[in-house]
Amino acid sequence: MNDAEVTRAPFDPAVLFKAAFLVVVAIFVLVPLLATLLGGFKSLGELRVNPFGLPRHWEWQNYADILFSGRYWQLLRNSLVISTLTVTLTLIVASMAAFTFAHVRFFGSSMLLSYLTLGLLFPAATAVLPLFIKVRDLGLLDTYFGVALPQVAFSLAMSVLLLRRFFKDIPHELLEAALVDGCSYIKFFRYVTLPLSRPILATVGTITFVNSWNAYLLPLVMLNTDALYPWPLGIMIYQGEYSSEWHLILAFITLTILPTIILFLLAQKHIVAGLTAGAVKG
Amino acid sequence: MARRIAIASPINVAGEAASHVASRGPSWDGRFTVLILFLPPALLLFTLFVVLPIGEAAWYSGFNWNGFGRPTRWIGFDNYRFVLETRAFWLALRNNGLIVAVSLAVQLPLALTLALMLAEKFRGAVALRMLFFMPYILAEIATGLIFSFVYDGDYGLVASIWRVFGAEPPHLLASTDTAMLAVLIVIVWKYFGFHMMLFIAALQSLDKSLIEAARIDGATRSQSLRHVVIPLLYPTIRLSVFFAIVGSLQLFDLVMPLTRGGPADSSNTMVSFLYNNGISRMRVGYGSAIGVILFVICVTFAFTYKRWFMRDE
Q: What 3 state SS string does A212-265 have? A: HHHCCHHHHHHCCCHHHCCHHHHHHHHHHHCCCCHHHHHHHHHHHHHHHHHHHH
Which of B4, B29, B38 would best serve as a mutation to test chain A binding (most A beta carbons within 10 A)? Answer: B38
Model confidence pLDDT, tens digit, residues B101-150: 999 999 999 999 999 999 888 888 999 999 999 999 999 999 999 999 99
Taking CA–CA distances from A180, the nearest residue in chain B reads B17
On average, the pLDDT of chain A sits at: 88
* Inter-chain touch B13–A177, beta carbons under 8 Å: yes
Q: Residue A270 CB: number of other CB atoms within 10 A?
A: 16
Split at pLDDT 50, 70, 90, the class of A10 is: low
Q: What is the pLDDT of residue A278?
A: 61
A73 CA to chain B: closest CA distance, Å?
Answer: 17
Q: What is the pLDDT of residue A280?
A: 62
Statement: residue A2 has pLDDT above 70 = no
In percent, how much of chain A has pLDDT > 90?
A: 53
Split at pLDDT 50, 70, 90, the class of B8 is: very low
Model confidence pLDDT, tens digit, residues A211-234: 999 999 999 999 999 999 999 999
Q: Please indicate whether residue B197 or residue B205 has the higher confidence score (pLDDT).
A: B197
Model confidence pLDDT, tens digit, residues B261-279: 879 899 999 999 999 988 8
Q: Which of B4, B142, B215 has its CB closest to that of A253?
A: B142
Q: Cα(B215)–Cα(B209) distance, rounded to whole angstroms?
A: 10
Terminal CA-CA length for chain A: 29
Split at pLDDT 50, 70, 90, the class of A134 is: very high
Average pLDDT over every residue of A249-253: 93
* Inter-chain touch A22–B128, beta carbons under 8 Å: yes
**Contact call for residues B293 and B92 (beta carbons, < 8 A):** no
Taking CA–CA distances from A52, the nearest residue in chain B reads B157
Contacts of B48 in chain A (CB under 8 A): 134, 153
Taking CA–CA distances from B236, the nearest residue in chain A reads A280
Model confidence pLDDT, tens digit, residues B141-177: 999 999 999 998 888 898 888 888 887 888 889 888 8
* Inter-chain touch B45–A152, beta carbons under 8 Å: yes
Q: Cα(B143)–Cα(A257) distance, rounded to whole angstroms?
A: 9
Contacts of A219 in chain B (CB under 8 A): none
* Inter-chain touch A125–B253, beta carbons under 8 Å: no
Contacts of A269 in chain B (CB under 8 A): none
Average pLDDT over every residue of A163-188: 88
Average pLDDT over every residue of B223-232: 88
Split at pLDDT 50, 70, 90, the class of B196 is: very high
A83 CA to chain B: closest CA distance, Å?
Answer: 14
Q: Which of B4, B46, B120 has its CB closest to that of A119?
A: B46
* Inter-chain touch A216–B119, beta carbons under 8 Å: no
Average pLDDT over every residue of B175-187: 93
Statement: residue B55 has pLDDT above 70 = yes
Q: What is the pLDDT of residue B7?
A: 34
The region of weakest confidence among A152-166, B44-58, B197-211, B244-258 is B197-211
How many beta-carbon contacts under 8 Å exist across A and B? 325
Which of A49, A129, A263 would best serve as a mutation to test chain B binding (most B beta carbons within 10 A)? Answer: A129
At residue B74, the 3 state secondary structure works out as strand
* Inter-chain touch A129–B5, beta carbons under 8 Å: no
On average, the pLDDT of chain B sits at: 85
**Contact call for residues A133 and B67 (beta carbons, < 8 A):** yes
Q: Cα(A99)–Cα(A186) distance, rounded to whole angstroms?
A: 10
B177 CA to chain A: closest CA distance, Å?
Answer: 23
Taking CA–CA distances from B164, the nearest residue in chain A reads A49
Contacts of B57 in chain A (CB under 8 A): 126-127, 129-130
| Share of chain B residues as helix, strand and coil, in percent rounded to the nearest 5 | 75, 0, 25
Q: What is the pLDDT of residue B45?
A: 95
**Contact call for residues A207 and A274 (beta carbons, < 8 A):** yes
Which residues are registered as beta bridge partners of B74? B63
* Inter-chain touch A129–B279, beta carbons under 8 Å: yes
Average pLDDT over every residue of B177-183: 93
Q: Which of A124, A149, A257 has its CB closest to that of B138?
A: A257
Split at pLDDT 50, 70, 90, the class of B312 is: low
Statement: residue A94 has pLDDT above 90 = yes
A24 CA to chain B: closest CA distance, Å?
Answer: 12
Phi, psi of B30 (to 5 degrees): -60, -45
Q: What is the pLDDT of residue B3?
A: 34
**Contact call for residues B6 and A183 (beta carbons, < 8 A):** no
Contacts of B46 in chain A (CB under 8 A): 115-116, 119, 153, 156-157
* Inter-chain touch A6–B52, beta carbons under 8 Å: no
Average pLDDT over every residue of B202-218: 86
* Inter-chain touch B57–A160, beta carbons under 8 Å: no
Average pLDDT over every residue of A6-22: 76
Contacts of B42 in chain A (CB under 8 A): 93-94, 96-97, 116, 156, 160
